[in-house]
Chains A and B, each alone.
Chain A
Amino acid sequence: MTAAIAGVGYTEFSKASGRSVLDLARAACEAAVADAGLPLGAVDGIVGFSLMHDSVPSQAVATVLALPQLRLGLDVELGGQAPCHLVGLAASMVETGQADHVLVYRAMNGRSGARVGTMQFAGLGAQYRYPIGYDAYLMYVAMWARRFLLETGQDDDDLGAVAVAQRQYATTNERAYRRAPLTLEQYRAEPYVVEPFRASDCTVEVDGACAVLVTSLDRARDLRQPPAVVAASVYRAGPRPGLDIGDHLLWDDYTRNYTSLLADELFGRAGLEPTDVHVAEIYDCFSSTVLIGLEGLGLCERGTSGAFVRSGATALDGRLPTNTHGGLLAEGYLHGMNTVAEAVLQVQGRGGDRQAPRHDVAVVTSGALMDGSALLLTAG
């Protein structure tokens, strides 16, 4: 049996939702089920993720959705690595008949409440970071970005190209938090936050929630929206992934993240090649992860990702429309759940003003550094 995504649901993305995280989770999940055209009671699985208890458990969501039963309830303490991974786990449960309709969600008052960007992650590695002022996740990604740019012969302007290209998409996305156009000149004029990152290299934190509904392809074909087939799903942590989410000290090569390690298996499982991809939605808590991801997945040659973006290849009329919602940089930080949802909309042909002309195969990634996950979604 093959699994597919049959619906997506969002709340508004804002700087102050005025609602509880549970209410956000409930609303996004309800919207995803309605999008698929299912009754709420058909849902028998809920999977979510959080960092430092910034979300609500699947059990609570099942309660306020008044579900008759859960056959799968899973809450994981993970960050941006999670969305594709959890969709893959949900798909496996569906494929083996252990659950029929599984919601995967992320909910957070990520702007007005607990903010991931400045959160101090408890963990065995914390003692080596926070006391010395190495105390925000963007510093770790910036550390990788610096080495990546140096070693691949790229520079700040290559980061800026990502921010500029993605902002262009956001101008036509009413859900996006940052919608004003951005030029490279404006980008260069921004002060550094943590060098080499400027504000536009960083995701914008928001309050909100996003959910997708995973079911079987057979069932999805009878539902309201065209199915987005889960053609392949892979999670990968490389060797020595560290003591916790912020510990990268034992990683060897900061120019390659998990995308380099999972690409062969991802494409192999789907019987596809990188050249078959029509749309890419690359996890982008920071601009550099788009460049590293494009190279790691083999979507462009090593050392050419910045030039690839600057050439217009990732724009709507380019060879590989990428981060068509504006990415986490512009749409907002729903921790990559919205990256998956955007890929679903694209594959379904529901992208509206930002719909990629060719959209039979989309690649999605989740995560930035040592570990992460990816999906290949195909038109059903």
Chain B
Amino acid sequence: MTEPTPPEPDQDSASFWTALAEHRLVLERCTACGRHRAAPVPACPWCASTGTEQVESPGDGRVYSWVTVHRSFGAPFADQVPYTIALIDLTEGARVLGRLEAGTSPVHAGLAVSARFFDHPSWTELRFAPAPEAS
């Protein structure tokens, strides 16, 4: 299996990737309006406040939408099709992308999922699997 090109963290996002490598999902929370965001940015996209605190998330959420990739567009993923990428609305309100672990079927909007940490040689990928109590 060809390894995908690792993410290239920037000054804003480094904390997100560092936490994932420790198998922790860390969100940013705006200290002014209280909204959470997953991809770190220098100010709140809802209120422009730069007041930010980092909060650890248990990684629980629900599927907002998903796509199943049947034809690969990059060599690293050619032997993995079909695979499913979902948008997950975390309980805190932040929306994140993640692959649903193989065997997550059928998928439906609102499916309860929880975070999984998938280690690559040099980085850790956030994935999701059905939550234990999911119906």
Chain A residues within 8 Å of B, Cβ to Cβ: 118, 124-136, 139, 142-144, 146-147, 150, 191-196, 239-240, 243, 247, 249-250, 254
Contact = CB atoms under 8 A, between A and B. Distances in A.
Nearest to B71: A193
Contact of B65 (A147, A193, A247, A250): A147
B85 A147 contact: no
Interface stretch (B21-29, B53-61, B93-101): B93-101
B115 to A, nearest CB: 13
Contacts of A129: 97
A192 B68 contact: yes
Interface string B67-107: 11111111011001011010100000001111100000000
A250 B64 contact: no
The majority secondary structure among interface residues of chain A is mixed
Contact of B9 (A125, A127, A132, A192): A127
A139 B67 contact: yes
Contacts of B6: 131
Contacts of B66: 143, 146
A143 B73 CA distance: 16
B38 A133 contact: no
Contacts of A127: 7-10, 13, 17
Nearest to B6: A131
B69 A139 contact: yes
12 contacts: A127-B10, A128-B39, A131-B5, A131-B7, A132-B4, A133-B77, A142-B67, A150-B109, A194-B71, A195-B67, A254-B64, A254-B65
Nearest to A129: B97
Nearest to A146: B65
Nearest to B69: A194
A118 B78 CA distance: 14
Interface string B36-49: 01110100011000
B77 A195 contact: no
Interface centre among A133, A147, A240, A254, by most B CB within 10 Å? A133
A133 B74 contact: yes
Given A127-B17, A134-B85, A143-B85, 19 more contacts: A126-B8, A127-B10, A128-B7, A131-B7, A132-B98, A133-B72, A135-B77, A139-B67, A143-B65, A143-B67, A146-B66, A147-B65, A150-B109, A192-B68, A195-B68, A195-B82, A243-B41, A247-B39, A249-B39
A194 B70 contact: yes
Contacts of A150: 65, 109
A133 B87 CA distance: 14
A192 B70 contact: yes
A125 B46 CA distance: 18
Nearest to A151: B109
Nearest to A196: B67
Contacts of B96: 249
Contacts of B7: 127-128, 130-131
B118 to A, nearest CB: 9
B114 to A, nearest CB: 17
A250 B97 contact: no
A336 B99 CA distance: 31
B73 A249 contact: no
Contacts of B4: 130-133
A123 B98 CA distance: 19
Contacts of B13: 124, 127
Contact of B5 (A118, A130, A134, A146): A130
A134 B97 contact: yes
